[in-house]
Structure 1
Amino acid sequence: MRRPTDLFEAWVAFAALVCFLVVAPAVGWVAGLRVDGTLQRAAHEQRQERYLVPAVVVRPAADRAGSTGRAQPSDGPGAPRQTPQRSLIVASWTGPDGSSHEGTVPAAEEPPHPGERFRVWTDPRGRLVGQPLDPSSASFHAGAAGLAIALGAAALVETVRRLVVRRLMHRRYIRLDRAWAAAGPDWGRAGTGI
């Protein structure tokens, strides 16, 4: 015996399977490609707008909060451990436009010595900026985004499938309750009138 809802449930399961195997990966792939294109353009623009310029250590920077981020000798064994931080230095550099700059930057080596040379990333006016996005990092982030979107699409498909099956089961139970109610007064006696 096959109820119409059984056939509908089978078609819903088949459609969900197709969505899992074809649609969700395709959505993730397309989304990953779009994110990769956007990130690659951003990485290219950053490489065009940022410059690696030489800088010179002037002196160690003054402690801002009176702490270097390292454990102090007075810290006991039960004291929370602080993560070591790179020390800050005052450095000077010349921007791509020829302007002179001086500012506080994290030290490249421990301990930094005045006069040591290192390089910093700046914008065209010589202001400090972060390192430009690496193309391989952009591709990795795009792949992660595509995978997350594919998994999200698969989760959405499974949620819809479960809701449809739940609704079908609810309808089956309502029909079963009605059938029991109709057969209830005479159930088991086969019309004997007792």
Structure 2
Amino acid sequence: MRAISGLWRWRGSPLRRPTDRAEAWVCLVALLLICVAAPAIGWLTGTAAQDSLRRSVAEQRHTRQRVPATVLRRMAYHPPETDPDAGAGAGAAHSVRSRVLAGWTAPDGAPRHGAVLTGLKSPHRGDRLLIWTDRQGHMTTRPLDSTTARAHAVLAGFGAALLAAALVETVRRVVVWRMVRRRYARWDQAWERAGPDWGKAGTGS
């Protein structure tokens, strides 16, 4: 931005160098890309993510269902990597839960059993609870809700826009840095040529 404003202020100055104009154009192009291209990339990414997540929500709602399960016995609690019955909010993640061995019936009538986290404070054998299963009767996580899917899509779009803007700014800095290094190299070469004759009478005449 400083290069653009500086070039505009002294665009007619005889001291203006071609590299100053080039740096200003690089900054202008980068600014346009950040203001136009980055939001467009974010919008496209968010839209694509929302469409994909919307299909996932519909598929999960169609293929997953809650079925009744019976507590067989209580198990020692070890925090699992995924909570099959945990909600999306922070409250569900911090609620008191017990780990039990539960049994249920698959859609084809086959018996199933597995470790389940439940909100029952003192579960006993025979207690009833609801779990999420897939079409084969295997225990799974609850379907993704629309609000969470929308939030994920917004975050994906916002992240893509920031990443695109950061990439443009990085390229701009690298290009300007190379231009400045080249300018300094030219100055060094010019000084080496003029250095031996510097201060001598008649130099340049």
Cα distance in 2 for partners of 1:156, 1:147 equals 14
Would you say 1:12 and 2:21 are equivalent positions?
no
The one-letter code sitting in structure 2 at the alignment partner of 1:167 is R
Q: CA deviation at 1:28?
A: 1.1
The one-letter code sitting in structure 1 at the alignment partner of 2:50 is D
Query: Once the two structures are aligned, what percentage of the paired residues are identical?
Result: 49
Would you say 1:22 and 2:33 are equivalent positions?
no
8 Å contact from structure 2 (residues 95, 119) kept in 1: no
Alignment of 1:161-180 (within 5 A): 161-180=172-191
Say if 1:92 and 1:28 are closer, same or farther in 2 by CA, change over 3 A. same
Q: What are the Cα deviations for residues 84-112 of structure 1, in whole angstroms up to 9, with x where unaligned?
A: 98432122223334433333212221111
Say if 1:57 and 1:187 are closer, same or farther in 2 by CA, change over 3 A. same
Cα distance in 2 for partners of 1:185, 1:101 equals 92
Query: Which 10-residue stretch deviates more, 83-92 or 110-119?
Result: 83-92
Q: CA deviation at 1:154?
A: 0.8
Match of 2:148 in 1: 137
Alignment of 1:1-194 (within 5 A): 1-61=15-75, 63=76, 68=77, 86-191=97-202
Cα distance in 1 for partners of 2:182, 2:78 equals 65
Structure 1 runs not aligned, ≥5 long: 71-82
Say if 1:93 and 1:177 are closer, same or farther in 2 by CA, change over 3 A. same
Cα distance in 2 for partners of 1:173, 1:6 equals 13
Q: CA deviation at 1:149?
A: 1.2
Q: What are the Cα deviations for residues 3-35 of structure 1, in whole angstroms up to 9, with x where unaligned?
A: 111111101000111111111111011111111
Match of 2:12 in 1: none
Q: What are the Cα deviations for residues 132-176 of structure 1, in whole angstroms up to 9, with x where unaligned?
A: 111211111111111111111111111110111111111111211
8 Å contact from structure 1 (residues 69, 84) kept in 2: no
8 Å contact from structure 2 (residues 96, 121) kept in 1: no
Q: Secondary structure at the match of 1:132?
A: coil
Query: Which 10-residue stretch deviates more, 105-114 or 164-173?
Result: 105-114
Structure 2 runs not aligned, ≥5 long: 1-14, 80-93
Residue correspondences, number: 175
The one-letter code sitting in structure 2 at the alignment partner of 1:13 is C
Match of 1:80 in 2: none
8 Å contact from structure 1 (residues 89, 104) kept in 2: yes
Say if 1:69 and 1:129 are closer, same or farther in 2 by CA, change over 3 A. closer
Q: CA deviation at 1:69?
A: 5.5
Q: TM-score, normalised by structure 1?
A: 0.81
Q: Secondary structure at the match of 2:69?
A: strand
